[in-house]
Amino acid sequence: MPKILVTGGLGYIGSHTVVELHKQGFEVIIVDDLSNTSLDVLERINKITNSSINYVNLDLKNIEATKIFISENNDIDGVIHFAASKAVGESVENPLKYYTNNLFSLTNLLNELKDLNKEINFIFSSSATVYGNPEIVPITESEPIKKAESPYGNTKQIGEEIIKDLVYSNSNFKAISLRYFNPIGAHSSAMIGELPIGVPQNLVPFITQTAIGLRKELTVFGNDYPTSDGSCLRDYIHVMDLAKAHIKSLYKLINNEDKSYYDTFNIGTGKGTSVLELIKCFENVTENKLNFKIGDRREGDVAECFADVSKANKILNWKSELSIKDSLLSSWNWEKNINNEKLQ
């Protein structure tokens, strides 16, 4: 089977994708600089897969180290590139960190792959943030790319442009950019999941940490949006469905005989769920009452953001299968598991 390099493979989405790659029979090599994760995740992946996944501690911003790594692993057939900083708020406060981490690491990696002078199938971890504040929902891939709302979103826009330009200038490269909406959930084993360092940036870890008592209360930012219940609508997708989208994308590239193939796909469920609906669903499936309050609107939040996924359904032969209930229950099982481990 093809050998796939997964950068940032010990992160939230990366770790679940590594598990799915192994399940599908791919040979996997992970690189991660451990800036936002730990080696404990590798141990968990190895337990789930009952194997020993190849791992290298590598900072892709290091030109010489990256050059050596790629030359020693010149038999790779594909790359899934997750390695990036990803907190929108932090990117506003520290934009240079984001431009350096997210773009220099990308161009450095692509330069070394280009020098291999062989066919490379490249999947880029992009984001719905590239759409900025959308005028129409559901959002299709043809929605105009507007000015990014944050430096993080801008790095995803620029990253897509870099890859597209490379593909059209070099017939060895085929690439797909996957624009994720809102990944949630955890692996069914409850051995890997989203593990934020410090205060969670995303809603579901904040919900589970509040439910288990790590946080005093949850704030819902605004209940006066033009939606059914006044709270923001988002497209929440189970991380395992997202992982499977990467596998489908790999097959699309590997089996595609076209030279210089590049395309973008929305990866979501195609349905919007409000923040208050998500909280109510969590309370129902876990039988936990959440302590939450309504706060002011948060700057930069849009009322509605959900995907039109018909293109991915048709071209990648992929669609989401797991429900919001599945996602929330798996997140809760993961939260309970890591909390129990801390108590032991």
| 16-25, 110-119, 202-211, 297-306: the lowest-pLDDT one | 297-306
Does the pLDDT value for residue 144 go beyond 80? yes
Contacts of 256 (CB under 8 A, 6+ apart): 174
Average pLDDT over residues 31-42: 96
Average pLDDT over residues 236-250: 98
The mean of the pLDDT values for the chain is 95
Helix (H) or strand (E) holding 286: helix 275-286
DSSP 152: H
Residue given tokens 């929330």 in the structure block: 328
* d(C-alpha 173, C-alpha 44), whole Å: 33
Rg (Cα) of the chain, in Å, rounded?
Answer: 19
Helix (H) or strand (E) holding 340: helix 324-343
Fold of 203-233+270-310+322-336: UDP-galactose 4-epimerase; domain 1 (3.90.25)
Omega before 205 cis (within 30°)?
no
Report the candidate in 102, 51, 63 with the shortest Cα–Cα distance to residue 81: 102
Instruction: Please give the biggest Cα pair distance in the chain.
Output: 57
Report the candidate in 101, 217, 202, 232 with the shortest Cα–Cα distance to residue 155: 101
pTM of the model: 0.96
Note the pLDDT of residue 194: 96
- Which residues are designated catalytic? 152
The type of residue at 162 is I
Helix axes 203-212, 324-343, angle to 10 degrees: 50
Angle (CA) 136-141-144 rounded to 5° is 60
Report the candidate in 195, 192, 153 with the shortest Cα–Cα distance to residue 36: 195
DSSP 287: T
pLDDT bucket at 60, cuts 50 / 70 / 90: very high
Does the pLDDT value for residue 149 go beyond 90? no
Query: Pairing relation of β-strands 54-57 and 78-81?
Result: unpaired
Report the candidate in 223, 219, 189 with the shortest Cα–Cα distance to residue 206: 219
* d(C-alpha 264, C-alpha 300), whole Å: 24
Does the pLDDT value for residue 38 go beyond 80? yes
Average pLDDT over residues 105-120: 96
Does the pLDDT value for residue 321 go beyond 90? yes
DSSP 3-state of 24? coil
Does the pLDDT value for residue 259 go beyond 80? no
3-state secondary structure 162-223: HHHHHHHHCCCEEEEEEEECEEECCCCCCCCCCCCCCCCCCHHHHHHHHHHCCCCCEEEECC
- CATH architecture, range 3-185+236-268: 3-Layer(aba) Sandwich (3.40)
Give percent of the chain with pLDDT exceeding 70. Answer: 100
Give percent of the chain with pLDDT exceeding 90. Answer: 86
**pLDDT tens digits along 71-92:** 999 999 999 999 999 888 888 8
DSSP symbols for 3-70: EEEEETTTSHHHHHHHHHHHHTT-EEEEEE--SS--HHHHHHHHHHHTS--EEEE--TT-HHHHHHHH
Angle (CA) 123-246-178 rounded to 5° is 55
Looking at the chain, the domain(s) classified CATH 3.90.25.10 span 203-233+270-310+322-336
Looking at the chain, the domain(s) classified CATH 3.40.50.720 span 3-185+236-268
Does the pLDDT value for residue 257 go beyond 80? no
Does the pLDDT value for residue 344 go beyond 70? no
* d(C-alpha 49, C-alpha 34), whole Å: 21
Does the pLDDT value for residue 203 go beyond 70? yes
| Dihedral sign from CA coordinates of 315, 16, 94, 88 | positive
